[in-house]
Structure 1
Amino acid sequence: MEDAAAALDRARLHAQVWLDSLGSRPVSPQASVAEVVERLGRDLPDGPTSAADVVDLLAEASGPGLTAMPSGRFFGFVIGGTHPAAMAADWLTSAWDQNSGLRSVTPAHTAVEDIAQAWLLDLLGLPAQAAVGFVTGGTMANFTGLAAGRDEVLSRAGWDVATHGLTGAPRVRVLVGAERHDSVDVVLRYLGLGAPEPVAADDQGRIDVADLRARLTQHPDQSTIVVLQAGNLHSGAFDPFTEAIEAAHEYGAWVHVDGAFGLFAAASPVYRHLVAGHEAADSWSTDAHKTLNVPYDCGLVIVRDPAALRRSMSMEGAYLVKDAAGDPFEKVPELSRRGRALPVWAVLRALGRDGVAALVERLAGHARAFAAGIAEIEGATVLNDVGFTQVCASFGDDERTREVVRLMLEDGTAWTSGSVWRDQAVLRISVSNWSTTADDVERTLAALRTAVGRVAGSPR
Structure 2
Amino acid sequence: MEKLLAETAKRAASYLSSLPERSVGPPSASIAALDQLGGRLPDAPTDPAQILALLDDIGSPATVATAGPRYFGFVIGGTLPAALAANWLAGAWDQNGAMQIMSPVGARLEEIVLQWTIDLLELPEGSGAGFVTGTTMANFTGLAAARTALLSRAGWNVEEDGLFGAPPIDVVVGDEVHVSLLKALSLLGLGRSRVTRVPVDSQGRMRPNALPPLHNRTLLCLQAGNVNTGAFDPAQQICPRAREANAWIHVDGAFGLWAGLSPQYAPLLAGFNAADSLAIDCHKWLNVPYDSGLAVVRDPKHLQAAMSISAAYLASSDKREPWHYVPESSRRARAIELWAAMRSLGRDGLCELVERNCRQARLFAQLLADAGFSILNDVVLNQVLVSFGTAEQSRAIIKAIQDDGTCWCGGTEWQGHTAMRISVSSWATTDDDVKRSATAIIKVARRILVPGP
Alpha-carbon distance between aligned partners in 2 of 1:105 and 1:7, rounded to the nearest angstrom = 27
Residue 395 of structure 1 corresponds to 388
User: Could you tell me which of 420, 430, 440 is aligned with 1:437?
Assistant: 430
What's the TM-score, normalizing by structure 2? 0.97
Q: Cα deviations across residues 187-234 of structure 1 (Å, max 9, x unaligned)?
A: 10000001221111111001111111xx125xx46x210000110011
User: Could you tell me which of 11, 16, 27 is aligned with 1:14?
Assistant: 11
Alpha-carbon distance between aligned partners in 2 of 1:209 and 1:426, rounded to the nearest angstrom = 27
Residue 85 of structure 2 corresponds to 88
Assess if the C-alpha contact under 8 Å between 2:288 and 2:341 holds in 1: yes
Alpha-carbon distance between aligned partners in 1 of 2:379 and 2:241, rounded to the nearest angstrom = 27
Q: Cα deviations across residues 54-74 of structure 1 (Å, max 9, x unaligned)?
A: 111111111221110111100
Assess if the C-alpha contact under 8 Å between 2:411 and 2:418 holds in 1: yes
Give the 3-state SS of the residue equivalent to 2:314 in structure 1. Answer: coil
Residue 412 of structure 2 corresponds to 419
Alpha-carbon distance between aligned partners in 1 of 2:30 and 2:403, rounded to the nearest angstrom = 17
Alpha-carbon distance between aligned partners in 1 of 2:115 and 2:34, rounded to the nearest angstrom = 45
Residue 262 of structure 2 corresponds to 268
**Displacement of 1:34:** 6.0
Residue 136 of structure 1 corresponds to 133
**Displacement of 1:133:** 1.2
User: Could you tell me which of 439, 443, 457 is aligned with 2:450?
Assistant: 457
Matched, 1:308 2:306: no
* 1:258-337 matches, cutoff 5 A: 258-337=252-331
**Displacement of 1:241:** 1.2
User: Could you tell me which of 26, 36, 61 is aligned with 1:29?
Assistant: 26
* 1:324-363 matches, cutoff 5 A: 324-363=318-357
User: Could you tell me which of 157, 160, 163 is aligned with 1:163?
Assistant: 160
**Displacement of 1:413:** 0.3
Assess if the C-alpha contact under 8 Å between 1:30 and 1:66 holds in 2: no
Assess if the C-alpha contact under 8 Å between 1:178 and 1:198 holds in 2: yes
Q: What number of residue pairs does the alignment pair up?
A: 450
What's the TM-score, normalizing by structure 1? 0.96
The verdict on how the C-alpha distance between 1:261 and 1:12 changes in structure 2, with shifts beyond 3 A counting, is same
Letter matched to residue 270 of structure 2: A
**Percent of pairs identical after alignment?**
46
Residue 231 of structure 1 corresponds to 225
Alpha-carbon distance between aligned partners in 2 of 1:327 and 1:170, rounded to the nearest angstrom = 31
Alpha-carbon distance between aligned partners in 1 of 2:53 and 2:154, rounded to the nearest angstrom = 59
Alpha-carbon distance between aligned partners in 2 of 1:138 and 1:369, rounded to the nearest angstrom = 28
Alpha-carbon distance between aligned partners in 1 of 2:61 and 2:336, rounded to the nearest angstrom = 30
**Displacement of 1:7:** 2.2
Letter matched to residue 59 of structure 1: D
* Structure 2 spans left out of the alignment, 5+ residues: none
* Structure 1 spans left out of the alignment, 5+ residues: none
The verdict on how the C-alpha distance between 1:190 and 1:32 changes in structure 2, with shifts beyond 3 A counting, is farther
**Displacement of 1:33:** 7.7
Give the 3-state SS of the residue equivalent to 2:342 in structure 1. Answer: helix
Residue 69 of structure 2 corresponds to 72
**Displacement of 1:443:** 0.8
Assess if the C-alpha contact under 8 Å between 1:313 and 1:330 holds in 2: yes
Assess if the C-alpha contact under 8 Å between 2:31 and 2:62 holds in 1: no
Assess if the C-alpha contact under 8 Å between 1:6 and 1:52 holds in 2: no
Assess if the C-alpha contact under 8 Å between 1:105 and 1:321 holds in 2: no
